[in-house]
Structure 1
């Protein structure tokens, strides 16, 4: 069970590096190119991890650890993708109030995912509201999938390993 968690940790670190290193403006200076290079290396690690995970998922025969790892990877990428989307929308015509940095965007995405909604960051533009609505729908589907995966894992654990048959005593 620890191996999927370790692989998900690698995905988390690689995705976090891509999230914080990918430039969102025109690249001009040499240090920007170094940042792009680091982001591309992290992106390559992320693509390799997902390629391997896709193969494991397709050939995993429904194993609970493979499905759990797939859910963890999907959550990591979805959170960071929504965060980048929100950051880009915030830079465009003030679609959000209180969202100025990548960390603000990540914070808002996680608070939306957790349905906390403190109100310090919120969508004011129509495009931002559509994006947040998309995340809310994703959250609902994701929670349903997670419940199904955990429910089937619990059912498998509770199922008796072998069915006991009464002994054939003969005539």
Structure 2
């Protein structure tokens, strides 16, 4: 691998990590800064369901970006980070608003950090047991998160892997650009 191409890959990796971390930090910061003073109502429920649709749209957009990226593996990491953090933040918001709407929905009152903690322990399937859903709405919401998390891990990982493979296949089908083509002695392009 030529030195310039190696630097290009390394630079792309740094950019991918910085973007993934920036998206995660931005979403978690927004979670803490958004004025979530409302209670869980029909309107906020519609907004949260719309948020889940946005997660799906972001995921679809990421799949398309992966297949067109010059570095599909790196793009997949970015896509998974964005989709996963958005998914988790949406459920943390849901739990926080539910506790504000129906105090006692959980075994203890949830502030934003507690709601995020509950979301992560549910997603990671460790369920420490110190916070549990008590209300029917809380339990249904937690089950929805569990099912969504399983889909995200199972189906999304498979779709992302397929998108990476499609991106790699696309790269192999496209002719190499003249500046990047290596030439063997005698002027024959390297295969």
TM-score range, shorter chain: 0.5 to 0.7
Q: Which residue of 1 aligns with 2:87?
A: 78
Choose between structure 1 and 2 for higher RCO, CA contacts under 8 A separated by at least 6 residues.
2
Q: Any idea what the Cα deviations from partners look like across 1:96-153, whole Å, max 9, x if unmatched?
A: 1124210000110000011011111010111111110110011111111354245886
SS at match of 1:61: helix
Do the aligned partners of 2:67 and 2:163 also contact (CA within 8 Å) in 1? no
Q: Which residue of 1 aligns with 2:73?
A: 64
Aligned residues: CA RMSD: 3.1
Q: In the TM superposition, what are the counterparts of 1:1-171 in structure 2 within 5 Å? A: 1-25=13-37, 57-61=63-67, 63-93=72-102, 94-145=104-155, 147-148=157-158, 149=160
Where in structure 1 do 4 or more consecutive aligned residues deviate above 4 Å?
Answer: 53-57, 150-154
Work out the number of aligned pairs and report it. 134
Taking structure 1 as the reference length, the TM-score comes to: 0.66
> Which sections of structure 2, spanning at least 5 residues, go unmatched?
1-12, 39-56, 173-191
Taking structure 2 as the reference length, the TM-score comes to: 0.60
